[in-house]
Amino acid sequence: MSRYRVRQSDVTPYSPANHTGTRNFRLIGPETVGAKQVEMLIGEVERGKGALPHAHPGTEQICYLLEGEAHVEVAGEKFEMKTGEACFFPPDQMHVFIVTSEKARVMVVYAPPYLEKNARTLASA
């Protein structure tokens, strides 16, 4: 087993806070490879589901759509994403990510690591 290679089948999926119909697989992070400054995961999301309005204080987020399509809102801007496109969610900015295709796979990068700590998430009221 490699100390630095992680397969999706090697990690246990979890359902992230402030999301619906989503299974995340944390591939790169402190618990898998010892990463301290970055975290990467793969999210599998059902049609019409995804991230409800929320923000990550002090954490930048990148989403790269591996498969599918999604509606995105960030800091008042709205747009549609297709496979092969990326978006950026600045720290502290409210954002939404809703899948509009049958399903979607998205690679998500957080810096610094978000680590799914609810105390670090701001949900909309």
Domain-located, residue 108: yes
105 in a structural domain: yes
Residue 90 lies in a domain: yes
pLDDT attached to residue 125: 46
Q: Give a yes or no: residue 6 inside a domain.
A: no
Q: What is the pLDDT along the chain (125 residues), one digit of tens a residue?
A: 688 999 999 999 999 988 999 999 999 999 999 999 999 999 999 999 999 999 999 999 999 999 999 999 999 999 999 999 999 999 999 999 999 999 999 999 999 998 875 544 555 54
Residue 120 pLDDT? 47
Number of domains comprising the chain? 1
Question: Kindly report the CA angle at 41 between 100 and 21, in degrees rounded to 5?
Answer: 40
pTM of structure: 0.90
Q: Is residue 89 part of a domain?
A: yes
Q: Could you tell me the residue range of the domain that residue 69 belongs to? A: 19-116
In a domain, 27, yes or no: yes
In a domain, 125, yes or no: no
Whole-angstrom distance, CA of residue 93 vs CA of residue 52: 13
Asked, for residue 2, whether it belongs to a domain, the answer is no
CATH of the domain at 54: 2.60.120.10
